[in-house]
Structures are given as C-alpha cells and as structure tokens.
Amino acid sequence: MRLILLSGGSGKRLWPLSNGSRTKQFLKVLKNEQGERESMVQRIWRQLASVGMMDHAYIATCSAQVDLIRNHLGGGVPIIVEPERRDTFAAIALASVYLYSEVGVPPDETVCVLPVDPFVETTFFEKVKGLEAALERTGAQLALIGSKPTYPSEKYGYILPDYEALSGHPEAFLIKGFVEKPPEKEAERLMGAGALWNCGVFGFKLGFLLNLLKERGYPDEYKELTARYSSLPKRSFDYEVVEKAGLMVSVVYENDWKDLGTWNTLTEEMEAPVLGKGIIDEDCLNTHVVNELDIPVAVLGLSNIVVACSSDGILVSDKAASQRIKDLLHTVEHSPMYGETRWGQYTILDFSRLEDGRETLVKKVEIQAGKNLDYGFHKSRNKCWIIQSGQGRAVLDGRIQEVKNGDCLLIPERTKHAVLAVSHLVLIEVQTGKDLMKEDSVLNLSDWIEIGKLGQSD
C-alpha cells in the first residue's frame, strides 16, 4: 500500500497565523507527547511513523510548499510537486502516475489518498490500512473512511452507507450516496439514519486510476503528464471520480476526527490557553491566546473568544464567529509579514514607502544551521545586515568573511552576496530602494560552487 498526502489550502480561515505561504497545516500550535510544539503536518507524519506507514507515504503539493514541508519533516520526505494548483483530481492523477512510472508501483497495489491535516487518533491509520482488505473483499472501485458524527455539523460532507447490502463484510458498507454540507436539521436526520462524516480519504487500486486516465487520453508516464498538466480538468477528485464511480464502500472510524480548520476547532486541541506571551484574567472561560508577536496580550472579562496575533495582524473573535474571518479578510488590506522558506524564516518589522516610491524594509531573518541564502545580487536595492546571533560565513562579491553578533555588512546594489549559517543565524536586514516587496534577485547559478564551498571550508 502507498499513501498520498495532499497538502494544499489557501490559508485564510486561520488568519492571521496562516497566510498564502504558511497554510494551517504548518502552524505549530499542537504539542507532541514530549510537550514540544508541532504542526499538523508534523503530527500526521509522526503518527504514520508510529504505525509503520511513513516509508510508503508521499506528499503531493505545489512548489510554494516544498520548502515548508522540508523544514517541518526534514529533507528526506518524498514530495511530488504539482506544476501548478489544479484542484485534487489533477494532483491525485499526477501522484498516481508518479508512483507507477517513477517508483515502479504495480497496478494492483492499493493507493490511499488522504489530506495532510486531519486531527485523528492513531487508530485512524489502522482504518486506512483496512481500506486494502475492504477493496479486495468487496471488489469495490473506491473505499472511503466514514467517521461517526458527534454533532449535526453543517460544514462537513456526509456518506450514506447501506448497512444491509454487503452482509458478508462486517467492516465495509456499501455507499449509496453523499450529502454535502447539509443544513443542521437535515444533518440531524442524517445522523439518526446512520450517515457518516466523509473524512476525505480515498482508497483504490492504482490500476483503477491509470485506466481512468487512459480512457481520457492521458499518459501514464510522469514526465509526459507533467508536461500536459495544464490540460487536466481543474476539478475536485469527488467531482471527477467519486461521483462517477461504480461500487464504493466505506469503512467506519469511531474515534475523534476533526478538521482543525477554524480557530474554534483548533483551540479545542490546544493544551494550554496561552501560546506565546499573554495573560488571560481568571474571569475568562474557554478563551485562548495564540500570540507570535514579541509583545504581551492581556485579556479581561471575555469568555469563549480567541485572540490570534502574528506579524500579519491581530484577530479578536468570538469562537463561534471565527470562521467568518475568511469573508471579513476581503476588506482588510494586508500583505504577509511572515514567511517560511527553504533556509528558515523571516518577519517584516517595518515597511515604509515615500511619495516618490522609495521604500525602506526592515526584516528579521533567521537561517537554520547549515543552510544559506541564495547567492545573487539585486538590481536596484541596497542592503545592510546586522548580525543578531549565531555564527555565519558571508560572501560579498567572492570575498568570504566570518560574521557574528554585532557585525554590520553593507551590501550596495549589484553586489553578489549570501551568508551560510554555521550555527542558527539571526540577522536584521534593512533594505532601501524601490519595489522592495517584489523579488528582484538575480541568482548566480554559475557561482553555486563558490557558495557551496562555504559550508565545507573548515
């Protein structure tokens, strides 16, 4: 069995902590058994490892998330990169063809697709394993996981199982239909009739999907499909495959399954009411603070609220209303002030633009030990680096120098520059010039060896 984990998301519902570059699965608001903070993607990867499934898992995502995934899971994690965002059908098709033509997975092997961010007990993955037996015993084209609803949610999709149709298979039930996000009354009726929450997990034989692509005239070779990626329909797997499939069965998962996609559901899983600097007065019940800023938050006399702060903004919301942030954001002018990258992370401390267009940008840049900024130059901006902590090896137009706390480097425009973090390196970068929020780096790929040598020179 192979697993495909889909990592996507727009990053709006958990604003201001999530943004275009850091979607919800990368927020480190959970805790592992050792009490260390972990993200949803780290949690699922840890869970897969604990049930021996990690070695058969692949992550399908877009190029914007590749650095983040490697930061969270390490450099060795296998990633299948979508050439562009084209919804789940295209992503699953590309990943399937990759498994077949690049990894050599045979057509009769089971493939299970799951979101990268469900909040579940580890027993959930035993159910994922069980999809293989369900497919083989029932001969179904697709096997899904349905979770026993705990309340009549209006936000989930429902699977309607026929508990009688397949009496010979006690753990897998025929699916007779689906209902998407019903109103509460209808959801109550569905619950009473034994309907299940659709967990978004799809099990199938690799050959099933390869045949489906073949019928539609798509290649089963990875590079060829990559080249034709933009011709794949931009639609969901549910629309393109599930709704048109033949026999489908569902396995039932009876423990906690949650989509931590809103502040309301996410804070329920937080161990402590305050993450970061903050204090909540005793008279506040069920109130949470998630604060990534370096200044304290004080909450007084307010229950059932969430306060979330990042360098992108500050959300203060009644928990039940927090899902509406997505709509409100259209009216908030904001650009992301925090980003995670291949080499670490940065926070924008200050940005100003004069009437004549000249700008100043102050960034705090953190580079992980052993990583380096790309070697290149800017066409029209000057930079100043002041080293805050850590040891580094900087190169300016080929000249290498060791840098440490207190050192100040001036980098005029068109000066090639990079820095390697010998230990975890933090620096303040002040840029001056025009269009500083846009990338104007010219990377010197021919000089890669030069910067590559930095890490090995002692």
Q: Does 313 bind a copy of itself (CB under 8 A)?
A: yes
- Please select the residue that binds a copy of itself; options are 37, 223, 324, 414, rule is CB under 8 A: 324
> Using a CB cutoff of 8 Å and minimum separation of 24, what contacts does 344-351 make?
344/71, 344/368, 344/371, 344/421, 347/311, 348/311, 349/311, 349/428, 351/436, 351/437
Rounded Cα–Cα distance for residues 148 and 199 (Å): 10
Which lies closer to a copy of itself via its Cβ, residue 221 or residue 407? 407
Shortest Å distance, C-beta 19 to a copy of itself: 12
Name which position in 51, 133, 245, 428 contacts a copy of itself (CB under 8 A): 428
Q: Which residues pair with 258 in a beta bridge?
A: 119
Nearer to a copy of itself, 133 or 329 (CB): 329
Give the interface size with a copy of itself as a residue count (CB under 8 A).
Answer: 63
The distance of closest approach from Cβ of residue 283 to a copy of itself in the complex, given in angstroms and rounded to an integer, is 7
For 296, residues 6+ apart whose C-beta sits below 8 A from its C-beta are 277, 278, 279
Please report whether residue 391 would count as binding a copy of itself according to CB under 8 A. no
Exposure class string for 368-377: b at 16+ Cβ within 10 A, else e: beebbbebbb
216 binds a copy of itself (CB under 8 A): no
Kindly indicate which of the ranges 69-77, 107-115, 203-211, 351-359 contains the residues binding a copy of itself, using the contact rule CB under 8 A: 351-359
Q: Does residue 317 belong to the site contacting a copy of itself (CB under 8 A)?
A: yes
Residue 297 interacts with a copy of itself (CB under 8 A)?
Answer: yes
192 binds a copy of itself (CB under 8 A): no
| Closer of 170 and 301 to a copy of itself (Cβ) | 301
* Shortest distance in whole angstroms from residue 409 CB to a copy of itself: 10
Cβ neighbours for 233, distance < 8 A, ≥ 6 positions apart: 86, 87, 89, 90, 240
| Nearest Cα to Cα of residue 73 among 7, 126, 14, 11 | 7
* Residues ≥6 apart with Cβ < 8 Å to 430: 360, 361, 362, 363, 383, 384, 386
Residue 442 engages a copy of itself in binding (rule: CB under 8 A): no
Residue 171 corresponds to which amino acid? E
Window 356 to 375, contacts with a copy of itself (CB under 8 A): 358, 360, 362, 364
Q: Which is nearer to a copy of itself, 11 or 130 (CB)?
A: 11
309 binds a copy of itself (CB under 8 A): yes
Residue 65 beta carbon to a copy of itself: minimum distance, rounded to whole angstroms: 24
In the 3-class helix/strand/coil scheme, how is 220-256 assigned residue by residue? Answer: CCHHHHHHCHHHCCCCCHHHHCHHHCCCEEEEEECCC
For helices 206-215 and 87-98, the axis angle rounded to 10 degrees is 110
> Rule CB under 8 A: which of 11-40 touch a copy of itself?
15-16
> Do β-strands 399-403 and 392-396 pair in parallel, antiparallel, or remain unpaired?
antiparallel
Give me 188's structure tokens.
Answer: 């109550």
Q: How many residues does the chain have?
A: 458
C-alpha–C-alpha distance, residues 270 and 267, integer Å: 5
**Cβ neighbours of residue 243 under 8 Å, at least 6 residues apart?**
178
Smallest gap from residue 303 Cβ to a copy of itself (A): 9
Closest CA to 79 of 140, 7, 18, 132: 7
DSSP-assigned letter for residue 101: I
Angle (CA) 153 159 165, round 5°: 145
Single out the segment in contact with a copy of itself by CB under 8 A; choices: 65-73, 125-133, 267-275, 346-354: 346-354
Residue 322 binds to a copy of itself (criterion: CB under 8 A): yes
Q: Which two tokens stand for residue 444?
A: 């010197």
Asked if 337 is part of the footprint of a copy of itself (rule: CB under 8 A), the reply reads yes
332 binds a copy of itself (CB under 8 A): yes
Stretch touching a copy of itself by CB under 8 A, among 114-122, 150-158, 199-207, 404-412: 404-412
Which is nearer to a copy of itself, 201 or 409 (by Cβ)? Answer: 409
Amino acid at residue number 228: R
- Which window, 126-134, 139-147, 400-408, 446-454, contacts a copy of itself (CB under 8 A)? 400-408
- Considering only the stretches 63-71, 75-83, 107-115, 427-435, report the one whose residues sit in contact with a copy of itself under the rule CB under 8 A: 427-435
Taking CB under 8 A as the criterion, the residue among 32, 230, 231, 405 binding a copy of itself is 405
Amino acid at 194: G
433 lines the binding site for a copy of itself (CB under 8 A) = yes
Of residues 354 and 449, the one with the C-beta less far from a copy of itself: 354
* Residues that bind a copy of itself in the complex, under the rule CB under 8 A: 15-16, 277, 279, 281, 283, 291, 293-302, 305, 307, 309, 311-318, 320-322, 324-325, 328-329, 331-334, 337, 349-352, 354, 358, 360, 362, 364, 382, 384, 386, 388-389, 405-406, 408, 410, 426, 428, 430, 432-433
